[in-house]
């Protein structure tokens, strides 16, 4: 049996949802396409929809420490140093060092809710 889905998108949860919405609005340089104040925002990016929501009061504890999650939002960038400077200007400088891997260079950053973001500059040349 095939699972009948119509779309897939990524969501992030935060009890302090407006702080996260402000961060992603500045980071992505765009206003949300859908926005319900203090409840939900959705951004339409190249090949991805990103939703940010406030959990119900009864579910808040589940999302209280989202940094324990194994999920990361990976942002492919063409200039890693410029991306680091942008995060720093937003007040969220990446705390670690640039890592060199077989597929490129990357550094971990974190949004205001503690979600891990991977800033990645590929060393793979596409044809």
Domain CATH for 23: 3.30.720.120
Domain identity same for 60 and 12: yes
53-70 per-position pLDDT tens digit: 887 776 556 556 555 556
Residue 69 contacts residue 115 (beta carbons within 8 Å) = yes
Percent of the chain scoring above 70 in pLDDT: 82
Give the Å distances, CA to CA, from 123 to 14, 101, 126. Answer: 33, 9, 9
34 inside domain:
yes
Structural domain of residue 46, as residue ranges? 7-64
111 inside domain:
yes
Domain count along the chain: 2
101 inside domain:
yes
75 inside domain:
yes
69-88 per-position pLDDT tens digit: 567 788 889 999 999 999 99
Q: What is the mean pLDDT of residues 94-109?
A: 89
Domain boundary among 28, 45, 64: 64
What's the whole-model pTM score? 0.75
pLDDT band for 28, please (50, 70, 90 cuts): very high
């Amino acid at each position: 049996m095939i699972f009948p889905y119509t779309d897939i998108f990524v969501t992030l949860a935060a009890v302090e949802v407006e702080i996260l919405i402000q961060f992603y609005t500045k980071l992505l340089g765009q206003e949300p396409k859908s926005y319900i104040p203090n409840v939900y925002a959705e951004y339409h990016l190249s090949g991805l929809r990103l939703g940010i929501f406030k959990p119900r009061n009864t579910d808040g504890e589940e999302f209280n420490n989202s940094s324990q999650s194994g999920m990361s939002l990976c942002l492919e960038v063409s200039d890693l140093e410029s991306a680091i400077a942008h995060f720093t200007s937003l007040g969220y400088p990446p705390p670690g060092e640039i890592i060199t891997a077989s597929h490129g260079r990357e550094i971990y950053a974190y949004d205001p809710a503690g979600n891990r973001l991977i800033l990645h500059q590929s060393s793979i040349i596409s044809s």
